[in-house]
Amino acid sequence: MATTIDNSNAVQATKKKHLGIPEAVFVEDVDSFMKQPGNETADAVLRKLDEQYQKYKYMELNLSQKKLRLKNQIPQITQTLEILRHMQKKKETTEPMETHFLLADNVYCKALVPPTEKVCLWLGANVMLEYDIDEAQALLEKNLSTASRNLETVEEDLDFLRDQFTTTEVNMARVYNWDVKRRSKENLLKSADKS
């Protein structure tokens, strides 16, 4: 009894994990599959499978873009955290910190930054807020862990999608081959009837 519960929980966890991505069902018996309602012709079934395949491709495009954004975001957050840690060490001293900051592409400016307790962070959408260094560090660490978790989830979803591609492609090939065999049998029967 406990094994059944564990298996159903594992299935539910998998469905929750890839929520929004429909699972492609492998067609084992093409004959019985083609007898189901809505599967009147091989062309109609192939159109449905191709439509499903195109949906998977669209999902892959969106997830790939999200993965790229996250891969760019994580190093930026890490670099900002390193700067905050450096500023935290320097805030105990009275001498200003010398830095170079980017004005435009390949144009840097030299600046002396006095020891400070506050920093300003770009939050996005043209919003900048002032934080204590400790608060900023906590916020960025939280954002870094969230971005890393999201990246793992996106990579798992992409792996799941690749499995769905493969299943859908195999289903399309099986239905196509079934149709070729069916047509060749019909042609053989027609030629046998004529002779």
Residue 157's nearest CA partner among 16, 52, 51, 25 is: 16
**What is the pLDDT averaged over residues 63-90?**
93
Mean pLDDT within 23-52 = 92
What pLDDT is recorded for position 20? 82
What is the residue type of 141?
Answer: E
The CA distances from residue 17 to 20, 148, 165, in Å, are 9, 16, 18
Confidence of residue 154 (pLDDT cuts 50, 70, 90): very high
Q: How far, CA to CA in Å, does 94 sit from each of 65, 91, 168, 195?
A: 45, 7, 66, 105
What's the mean pLDDT in 92-118?
88
12 pLDDT more than 60: no
CA distance 159 to 153: 10
Give all domains of the chain, ordered by start, each with its CATH number. Answer: 26-174 (1.10.287.370)
Q: Does residue 6 register a pLDDT over 80?
A: no
- pLDDT grade, residue 3 (50/70/90)? very low
The yes-or-no verdict on residue 17 having pLDDT over 70 is no
* Averaged pLDDT of the chain: 88
Q: What local confidence, expressed as pLDDT, does residue 5 receive?
A: 40
pTM of the model: 0.76
Q: What is the CA radius of gyration of the chain?
A: 29
The token duo for 79 is 């670099």
pLDDT, position 143:
96
